[in-house]
Amino acid sequence: MSDAAPPYPDPAEDPRHGRLTARRRSPTTPGPTGFVPMTGPDGRRPAMAYAPEPAADGSAYRLVLLLHGAGGSARQGLDLLLPVADAHHLLLVAPQSSAASWDLIAGGFGADVGRIDGLLATVFDGYPVRDVTLGGFSDGASYALSLGLANGGLVDAVLAFSPGFAAPPTTHGHPRIFISHGVDDRVLPIDMCSRRLVPDLHGLGYDVTYEEFQGGHEIPAPIRDRAITWLTTATPL
C-alpha cells in the first residue's frame, strides 16, 4: 500500500466536488480595459474577457462568468452579454471548455472547475469586483446552475438561458436565479427541462425568476434585456 499523501488533503479542494476556492480581493492597481487576453500556463488562451472603463464613481465591477453551449467557443460565451457590458459596468469572463462541452455533461465535475477557479483568481487579483454572477446558454446554462448552486457563498446570481438540468453534488447558499426557455425549443424541450427544473428549484427555496418566450433554442434580445434588468435591479434575499 502506498503511503503517499492524497492529491486533495482537503476534500473541498477536489474539483469533483465543484467547489470554487477563489475569493474577491481589493487590488490597488486596476487591470486593463477592453478585450483582455487571458493565457494559461500551457500558452493557450483558456478564456476571453472584456472589461469596461472604470466607473466614474469608482464603484467595483459586477463580474459575469459566461459559459458557452456544447461545441461552442469562449467568444460565443462572451457574446451572450457583450452588447450590454458597457452600459451596465459588467466585467465579462468567458472560459473555453476543456472538451466539446463542460466536464459535468461528460459525467462529473473535474478539469473545467479547476480552470474556472484559476481564471476567477486571476480576475480577482486584477479588478475590484462587488459580486459574482454565473451565466450560460444551453449546456452552459446547465453548468452555470450546477456550479452556481454548489458555490452560493461566492456566487450571488445565476443566469440560465435554456438549461437542461441542474446537478450540483452539494449546495451552498441561495444565489438568485433567472431562467428563460423557448416554448418551441427542439434541442432541449421545455417540458422536459425548465418546466420541471423551475418547480424543483422553487421547492428547494431558491428565488427563481422564470421567463418563457415564443421561440426555439435561442436568446432573443428582449429576453437578454429582461435578464439584465433583473440582474442589475433585483434585491438579493
Q: Using one digit for the tens of pLDDT, what is the confidence trace for 195-208?
A: 999 999 999 999 99
Asked if 186 and 34 touch (Cβ cutoff 8 Å), the reply is: no
3-state secondary structure 26-69: CCCCCCCCEEEEECCCCCCCCEEEEECCCCCCCCCEEEEEEECC
Backbone phi and psi for residue 85, each to the nearest 5 degrees, phi listed first: -65, -45
Asked if 154 and 23 touch (Cβ cutoff 8 Å), the reply is: yes
Q: Quote the CA–CA distance of 236 and 135 in Å, as a whole number.
A: 17
Q: Using one digit for the tens of pLDDT, what is the confidence trace for 63-100?
A: 999 999 999 999 999 999 999 999 999 999 999 998 89
Residue 111 parent element (H or E) = helix 111-126
Q: How confident is the model at residue 58 (pLDDT cuts 50, 70, 90)?
A: confident
Q: How confident is the model at residue 6 (pLDDT cuts 50, 70, 90)?
A: very low
Spans of all domains in the chain: 29-233
Can you tell me which residue has the cell 488533503?
Answer: 9
Residues 6+ apart with CB under 8 A from 58: none
Cell of 33: 480595459
DSSP code of 109? Answer: S
Q: pTM for this structure?
A: 0.90
CATH of domain 29-233: 3.40.50.1820
Cell of 219: 436568446
